[in-house]
A and B are shown apart, each in its own frame.
Chain A
Amino acid sequence: MIEVRDLRVRYAGRLAADVPELDVGAGECVAIVGESGSGKSTTLLSLLGLTQDAEISGHVRVCGVDVLAASPRGLREIRGARAALVMQSPQSALSPATRLGVLMRRALKLHGVGRGADRGGSLDEIMAESVAAVMLDRTILRRYPHEISGGQAQRFAIALAIALGAEVILADEPTSALDVTVQAEVVGVLRRLREQRGLALLLVSHDLALISTIADRVLVMKDGEVVESGPAARVLTEPAHPYTRELLEALP
């Protein structure tokens, strides 16, 4: 679903991210780990063409679309529909005076979901089903953004992605603003979606322990470069690079 070769992102000539290889298949979860300034978020954003004022070179395919060569229109087709971005604080991205149900319906209509026979069911059914898939109650659709908690907002963001027919979810620190008990819930939802629907997950996080419980493969980034990559079990138990070792030792 995601295929990256020799991706280089530069801001004003300075190399912000250099990723030689990154693949995420359906049903897979890959994590990019690093500290602030490591280039992990830059990498994620560049996969959806969301970096501004950056020079990008290399080869990036998301859901079969060549992102770097795609027209703005082509980008819009994958962005938000087939590939969804989940950010750290989704609440700030929800329009405060709109009920969540209205918001979701508008988004679906905008993308032509539920029109014709492309996907089964009416809009209402799709909405109900996607909300249930993230273990939220249907009544949430009648609420306003400020009436829900951070964990609910994050799961609603994921529900929206599913309703829009996302095949890939790119998540940037999706749980680091949440309490640990709530984090467990959101991670649980992501795992379920991946197992039941074959969703591909690309996760950016600073939390190695969290990553170790969910990711199949891991890329460790430092100062824009990938210092180590491989199966999560191997990288996190037998780290080859001193920096990975340092990260693991720093775990409290």
Chain B
Amino acid sequence: MTMLRAERVTLGYAGRAVVHDVSLDITAGGVGLIGESGSGKTILARAFLGLLTPMAGNIWYGDQTLKKADMRKFRKDVQPVFQAEALDPRMRIGASVAEALPVRGPRAARARVPELLEQVGLDPGLAARRPHQLSGGQRQRVVIARALAAGPRLLILDEPTSALDVTVQARILDLIASLDTERLLITHNLAVVRRLCRTSHVLFAGRVVESGPTRDLLADPAHPYTRALRDAVPKLGGSPPQARGTTEAVPAETGCPFRLRCPLAAPECERPPVLRDVRGRQVACHRAEDVLVT
């Protein structure tokens, strides 16, 4: 059974919807949520963390909606890993990690904090430092240690490495891969998803446009946007990245949100596409078969 599930959720701020009617399960083996700025991926993460109540639809935690669930248990089970800025600049590292311990108090902290720091590959001696005295990679490790302190079963990771240098990023990804928890990974970086997530969902303009096994999605995209995304990533020694169509088009009010940017747009794209099964995955595109062929 999946621990956390979004059921037709619509999310937004101040009455304006940003994410429309999204359903997705956080399944085992890592789930990736891929999207660029404005796709709604971060707001979806906030909803999964119970920081934002959906305007419509429900977040299910086991067999209860988040509105009714035991939040103490939920907070213990589900923890976020934000970017390295997720540390209070005025708090010492040790205090930051200790705050996250389920059993609080100086004795528990003295025992557990060094263990947690070691678990994420940090010298326990860093506990006395403040965030600005650490490198970006070290800070990100502290953020992970803090999340682990609660003893979570699921980590929701929002761009955990995008602010880091590549060599540091690689080591943090190793650490995340070695952790014994379920994970929902939110990122724009396809390579990171490939490494850490068995299943992926591609988000465009607040809608899921393609879901399926990460490997299939990246090898053989069925949605033109997934393909554009993949092709735009520069490859070492490869040909220059290609911009397909314009990226500046505003999502349409009706019809397929991608149609103004889509090289395959056809008259039928004026009708909104629904998610349908195409070759082992779900795609919201009238022309998915054509995308797979070309």
A and B touch in the complex (CB under 8 A): yes
Residues of A within 8 A of B (CB): 35-36, 149-152, 179-185, 187-188, 191, 206-210, 212-214, 233, 236-237, 246-252
With contact pairs A149-B248, A209-B235, A212-B234 given, residues A180 and B188 touching in the complex (Cβ less than 8 Å)? yes
CA distance A251 to B192 in the complex (A): 10
Q: Is B189 interfacial (CB 8 A cutoff)?
A: yes
CB pairs A–B below 8 angstroms (11 shown): A35-B165, A187-B234, A212-B236, A212-B237, A233-B237, A247-B166, A247-B167, A250-B166, A252-B166, A252-B192, A252-B194
Taking each of B37, B173, B239, which has the highest tally of chain A beta carbons within 10 Å of its own beta carbon? B37
Selected from A152, A180, A236, A237, the residue in CB contact (under 8 A) with B248 is A152
B108 within 8 A of A: no
Chain B 190-212 near chain A by CB (<8 Å), digits 1 or 0: 01101100000000000000000
Assess the B236–A208 pair: CB atoms within 8 A: yes
Interface stretch, picked from B6-14, B51-59, B225-233, B270-278, is: B225-233
> How many Å from the CB of B227 to the closest CB on chain A?
11
Asked if A252 and B232 sit within 8 Å, CB to CB, the answer is no
How far does the Cβ of A221 sit from chain B's closest Cβ, in whole Å?
12
Contact A179 B36 (CB under 8 A): yes
- Most A C-beta atoms less than 10 A away, residue of B136, B166, B244: B166
- The reply to whether A213 and B248 form a contact with Cβ atoms under 8 Å apart is no
Decide if A187 touches B233 in the complex (CB within 8 Å): no
B158-180 residues at the A interface, CB under 8 angstroms:
165-170, 173
Are B238 and A188 in contact (CB-based, < 8 A)?
no
Interchain CB contact under 8 A, B165 and A183: no
The answer for the CA separation of A151 and B261 in the assembled complex, in Å, is 15
Q: How large is the interface on B (under 10, 10 to 19, 20 to 34, 35 or more residues)?
A: 20 to 34
Tell me the smallest distance from the CB of A192 to a CB of chain B, in Å: 10
Q: Verify B191–A181 contact, CB threshold 8 A.
A: no
Report if A35-B237 is in contact (Cβ < 8 Å); known contacts: A180-B232, A181-B36, A252-B195: no
With A and B bound together, what is the CA distance between A200 and B195 in angstroms?
A: 37
CB pair A237 B237 closer than 8 Å: yes
Shortest distance between the CB of B237 and any CB in chain A (Å): 5
Contact across chains for A248 and B165 when beta carbons are under 8 A apart: no
Complex Cα–Cα for A248 and B173 (A): 16
- In the complex the two chains form, is B173's CB within 8 Å of A209's CB? no
Q: Output the residue of B168, B232, B241 with the most chain A CB within 10 A.
A: B241
Closest beta carbon of chain A to B85's beta carbon, Å: 15
Answer whether A236 and B236 are a contact pair too, CB < 8 Å, given A151-B247, A181-B247, A185-B247: yes
Q: A183, B236: Cβ atoms under 8 Å?
A: no
| Chain A proximity of B160: nearest CB distance (Å) | 13
A184 touches B232 (CB 8 A): yes
Q: CA separation between A185 and B228, bound complex, in Å?
A: 12
Q: Could you tell me the distance between the alpha carbons of A152 and B247 in the complex, rounded to whole angstroms?
A: 10
